[in-house]
Structure 1
């Protein structure tokens, strides 16, 4: 609605500037260099979770200007665009949308640091794996103690923009049904159990599936192959499926030789900056032929994030053909 017209983009910028000026006048914002920068409505990507967090966050921060622009379009635009704008405006001013905006922003904020860590070119795998545990713990704390603070945050937002707040002790009316055909549970039960608890549980399950015990052990173990930390966490425990019982014996002795070699003898390995750099040096020094099983472990660590991202893109592309009509 906005991006197709330079005039509407300018209106959005002006509305955003007016809101910031009003907030500064009331003392709700601080002024200073680098503060209160102009925001944009970032389009969420199918394969980058971080983009969804940015989209939710910017939408909340720009909610007032967005409403102003939609309201202007609903009054001044052509009939078709006027109808679309009214529909978007009605949707934005619904409690359910406001609740989901704040809730999903809070959930994705928890995993945002984890996403950023795994998207870096040089990955610190040990710290990235710790962030998995941090994300799981914070999601559990949100589930246990975050409901009241979320409702307070959403209610304050609704009051600010004059959005109707439902009575939580009334029966929930399922969208698309007649108000005479209500659900057998309350509004509170719907939002707390069927939305709040369920989405957090889905997110925790997703993390458990992506970072199961085998994958975690493999990543942590392979990260110790980098001599930059003098193999301080090395415990000689590797159990990927690609090694049979005979290779496992060879691997153990190869690892011990590798550690002594690159730590105490070969100074070319003294200034590494991650596993990518390690793999290059192994090839350049031809030690990938000397320690082929160790080199295979390094390749596992480098390929695993790529394989995960590839699967994500495949499932995103399936949306083009896996439609309701096709089903």
Structure 2
């Protein structure tokens, strides 16, 4: 072997990676051609703490298949204008035009979700076509939990739940006692929701096994071998016997429970757009009703739980005493104000705001119109009036003459497809798109 062969040197490896990335991007751009596209944008920090923006192109290829391809990851700063400038430069670099963009989606759990929200507004000012649509593949519940964590009490609650899983999981590895051996099963049960990306399932498991969890932690505190784990168990036991824990547990159980059916619909491989939009309306209505009328029933549930497990219930009319703060500096508020106004109302308001931002009246109506193209049940969802309404979302794409002739064209379209046996057995819009390309 030649001594000067440097195929494994960092410089050579970087060159190979760059060439492969260049050729891959060129292949994506050629596959896209001059067709319309949508973008999916996600933001995250790298190991050095720098913010990065990943841009994915979504388009229909020449065979009628829906394609999602990562175009590039670019470094950005935490400003809306920086994001927009980075996106424009990326499009310019690859000879793409923002005018061809017909959709946009963003990661709602991002640290820069505020800037991303502003970015979509800036894009819409220049081009009215790229309406924001929630990416169904993104876990909505992860976003809602991230939003709820903006209330520090809820952030503390989820941190403590994670610590419980870690302490019980570490204890089970030694299996020095029967209880410690059982700890692993309990930790796995609580953590199973996290594995499934369902915080709701985790909370239900924690509620169901509350007494067992406290017994296990007490056993670890008394008999554990690792001093740090014994000390951590003591802290967790104190927290589990606090009203703050019980209130947070039941509040998040209700909040996530209201959106759980929607989460299931969004994660289905075969999307039912109409039912999904109905469930969105149900979630919004239930959340508003919960805020307006749900305080007393929630407090009753929490109080019942506390009475069963011997947890002290504060008098809601008494002054709230903040732990770990100077009482001279603490604002004098009642316990009811603390738990109702600052936690209950705030968490639900944040959930409603996020739901309204992700599922606006405009994009909900847009999705409802799109559902009329579904070939399911011999095109039973076809609705000409809604499809005519769909055109109003893209006013610059149709001339007055095209609008006048579209009514007859839609009538011909549905009669033609319903009389063709090859189309009557189709399911889902993407299969219809491929069939139309084939014929």
Contact 1:8 1:69 in 2 (8 A): no
Secondary structure in 1 matching 2:373: coil
Secondary structure in 2 matching 1:173: coil
Q: CA RMSD in A?
A: 3.0
2:416 to 261, 270, 277: 261
2:398 to 236, 245, 253: 245
Contact 1:170 1:186 in 2 (8 A): yes
How far 1:69 sits from its partner (Å)? 0.7
Seen in structure 2, the aligned counterparts of structure 1 residues 105 and 73 have a Cα distance that, compared at 3 Å, is same
Q: Which residue of 2 aligns with 1:270?
A: 424
Seen in structure 2, the aligned counterparts of structure 1 residues 242 and 66 have a Cα distance that, compared at 3 Å, is farther
Contact 1:231 1:259 in 2 (8 A): no
Contact 1:272 1:278 in 2 (8 A): yes
1: CA distance, partners of 2:178 / 2:429: 47
1:40 aligns with 2:206: no
State the TM-score, normalized to the length of structure 1: 0.71
Q: Which residue of 1 aligns with 2:179?
A: 11
1:62 to 187, 209, 218: 209
Q: Give a deviation string over 1:4-30, Cα, whole Å, max 9, x none.
A: 32428963785899xxxxxxxxxxxxx
Q: Which residue of 2 aligns with 1:104?
A: 252
Seen in structure 2, the aligned counterparts of structure 1 residues 97 and 8 have a Cα distance that, compared at 3 Å, is farther
2: CA distance, partners of 1:163 / 1:153: 13
Count how many residue pairs are aligned between Structure 1 and Structure 2. 263
Q: Which residue of 1 aligns with 2:435?
A: 281
How far 1:51 sits from its partner (Å)? 0.6
The structure in which a higher percent of residues are strand is 2
2:236 to 88, 91, 99: 88
Q: Give a deviation string over 1:128-184, Cα, whole Å, max 9, x none.
A: 100011111111221222111111111111111111111211122234303454322
Contact 2:242 2:312 in 1 (8 A): yes
2: CA distance, partners of 1:202 / 1:12: 39
Seen in structure 2, the aligned counterparts of structure 1 residues 180 and 166 have a Cα distance that, compared at 3 Å, is farther
How far 1:255 sits from its partner (Å)? 3.8
Contact 1:74 1:85 in 2 (8 A): yes
Structure 2's unaligned 5+ residue stretches are: 1-166
How far 1:245 sits from its partner (Å)? 3.5
Seen in structure 2, the aligned counterparts of structure 1 residues 80 and 192 have a Cα distance that, compared at 3 Å, is same
1: CA distance, partners of 2:187 / 2:352: 34
How far 1:230 sits from its partner (Å)? 2.5
Seen in structure 2, the aligned counterparts of structure 1 residues 179 and 65 have a Cα distance that, compared at 3 Å, is farther
Contact 1:169 1:187 in 2 (8 A): yes
Seen in structure 2, the aligned counterparts of structure 1 residues 111 and 81 have a Cα distance that, compared at 3 Å, is same
Contact 1:2 1:8 in 2 (8 A): no
1: CA distance, partners of 2:406 / 2:207: 53
Contact 2:243 2:306 in 1 (8 A): yes
Q: Give a deviation string over 1:221-248, Cα, whole Å, max 9, x none.
A: 1111013343454422113449523396
Seen in structure 2, the aligned counterparts of structure 1 residues 43 and 230 have a Cα distance that, compared at 3 Å, is closer
Contact 1:167 1:187 in 2 (8 A): yes
Seen in structure 2, the aligned counterparts of structure 1 residues 222 and 2 have a Cα distance that, compared at 3 Å, is same
Structure 1's unaligned 5+ residue stretches are: 18-36, 287-327
Q: Which residue of 2 aligns with 1:188?
A: 336
How far 1:124 sits from its partner (Å)? 0.9
Seen in structure 2, the aligned counterparts of structure 1 residues 13 and 81 have a Cα distance that, compared at 3 Å, is closer
1:143 to 279, 291, 295: 291
Seen in structure 2, the aligned counterparts of structure 1 residues 270 and 80 have a Cα distance that, compared at 3 Å, is same
Q: Give a deviation string over 1:168-216, Cα, whole Å, max 9, x none.
A: 1112223430345432211101111111112112111111111112211
State the TM-score, normalized to the length of structure 2: 0.54
2: CA distance, partners of 1:163 / 1:101: 14
